[in-house]
């Protein structure tokens, strides 16, 4: 959010993956997708490793840009490393670009988050979970409804209307 951004000493705002921006990592096999908030600023090897360690099968192929962020994941999981320099991919059509699936997902995530700009940034992983639930199989709508209802009933939470709307506790107090 603009109000939360920290400017440079000269009053300008940093560009790129600065500490003002939430880093979102994406992994996909073109069928299943994982979207994770890794933290603020440019991700470290440790941040990416901790975010994706439980989501990438050991021995998988990791297609990525030549960021050193991925080194620990590659080493620890024994991943097959397929890396591309971004400058070599400029000018390629999307269908020729091996990084296009991830680039396209980042584009879609940005559009989703911009369309719902009033969300609580502290709950970003919940919004990302919702989005990747929509992106992942099953693709049949009724199967997806069945799956979400099963998840809801497996994780019951009690929310009393009276508790949320009382003057001292709920909507009216906020």
147 with 121, same domain? no
Q: Please, is 69 exposed, middle or buried when counting C-beta atoms within 10 Å of its C-beta (0-12, 13-18, 19+)?
A: buried
Lowest pLDDT segment from 10-19, 34-43, 110-119, 136-145: 10-19
59 with 88, same domain? yes
131 with 144, same domain? no
21 with 81, same domain? yes
Q: Give me the domain span that covers residue 154.
A: 140-174
Tokens standing for 13? Answer: 């705002």
127 with 169, same domain? no
Q: What is the pLDDT of residues 7-59, one digit of tens each?
A: 778 877 767 777 778 899 999 998 999 999 998 888 999 999 999 999 999 99
6 with 33, same domain? yes
121 with 167, same domain? no
22 with 60, same domain? yes
Residue 64's H or E segment, with its range, is strand 61-65
What CA–CA distance (Å, rounded) separates 39 from 25?
9
110 with 145, same domain? no
92 with 14, same domain? yes
pTM (2 decimals)? Answer: 0.75
* Domains held by the chain: number: 2
What CA–CA distance (Å, rounded) separates 2 from 68?
30
Q: Residue 173 above 50 pLDDT?
A: no
75 with 62, same domain? yes
CATH number for the domain that contains residue 31? 3.30.420
pLDDT grade for 2, boundaries at 50, 70 and 90: low
């Amino acid at each position: 959010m603009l109000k939360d951004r920290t400017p440079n000493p000269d009053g300008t705002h940093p560009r790129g993956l600065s500490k003002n921006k939430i880093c979102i990592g994406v992994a996909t096999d073109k069928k299943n997708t994982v979207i994770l908030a890794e933290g603020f600023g440019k991700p470290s090897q440790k941040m990416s490793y901790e975010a994706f360690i439980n989501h990438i099968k050991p021995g998988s192929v990791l297609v990525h840009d030549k960021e050193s962020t991925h080194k620990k994941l590659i080493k620890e999981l024994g991943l097959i490393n397929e890396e591309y320099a971004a400058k070599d991919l400029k000018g390629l059509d999307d269908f020729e670009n091996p990084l296009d699936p991830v680039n396209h997902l980042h584009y879609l995530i940005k559009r989703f988050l911009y369309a719902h700009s009033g969300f609580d940034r502290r709950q970003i992983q919940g919004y990302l979970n919702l989005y990747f639930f929509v992106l992942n199989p099953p693709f049949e709508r009724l199967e997806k409804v069945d799956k979400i209802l099963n998840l809801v009933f497996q994780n019951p939470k009690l929310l009393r209307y009276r508790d949320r709307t009382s003057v001292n506790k709920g909507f009216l107090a906020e």
